[in-house]
Amino acid sequence: MKKPAKAEKVVPTIGWREWIALPNLGIKQIKAKVDTGARSSALHAVDLETFKRHGRDFVRFKVHPEQRNSKRTVIAEAEVLEYRKVKSSGGHQTRRPVILTSVSALGQTWEVELTLVSRDEMGFRMLLGREAIRRRMIVDPGRSFLNGRPKKKKAKKKKAKKKKVKKKKPTRVKRTR
């Protein structure tokens, strides 16, 4: 007698770039590059400050979630899991703090290890590596923003002030004969 076939798990498809959320860090949306060529995930962080709390290592840092906008800043804190040597795409090796935080995308929320590094020169504020999406999502490299796009804030229209126009009296021309 044959065993009944197991129902296949439906795995959602994610694009090569997506808007995601990092709720534990207070980041409602950040544009991430989904990169299966990178093993680990990285978050753009500046002004890193490590400190001890109850004998454990923590890090406080700033995140600018929007590309080319350093005015909007989120200040976050997280426990440091470890420090890891990571080789960048340019071949440079750096020692980075690693944190564990939750990621939300495509209706799912799960825990991900993130290295903290300045990504000012990179095209995306976050890199979602293959370990973060392993057995969870399939990447379609030809598509983007399958998770949707953030709603654009409507610019407030300024009401144009009506200028008071003085009515000119018609000029009368005297005709001479």
Query: Tell me, what CATH number does 114's domain have?
Result: 2.40.70.10
Mean pLDDT of 153-163: 55
Domains identified in the chain, total number: 1
| Residue 50 neighbours by CB under 8 Å, 6+ apart | 57, 58, 59, 60, 80, 97
Q: What is the pLDDT of residue 160?
A: 52
pLDDT at position 21 is: 96
**Euclidean distance between CA atoms 50 and 48, whole angstroms:** 7
At residue 168, the pLDDT reads 58
Q: Does residue 75 sit within a domain?
A: no
3-state class (DSSP) for residue 19:
strand
Least confident of 35-39, 66-70, 133-137: 66-70
Does 10 map to a domain?
Answer: no
pTM for the model stands at 0.77
Range of the domain at 90: 32-46+80-140
Q: What are phi and psi of 23, to 5 degrees?
A: -60, -35
d(Cα 74, Cα 66) in Å, to the nearest integer? 10
85-113 average pLDDT score: 90
Own/partner pairs for 84-93, CB < 8 Å, 24+ apart?
84/40, 84/115, 86/40, 86/42, 86/115, 86/117, 89/38
Place of tokens 């290295």: 115
Out of 20-34, 45-59, 110-124, least confident range: 110-124
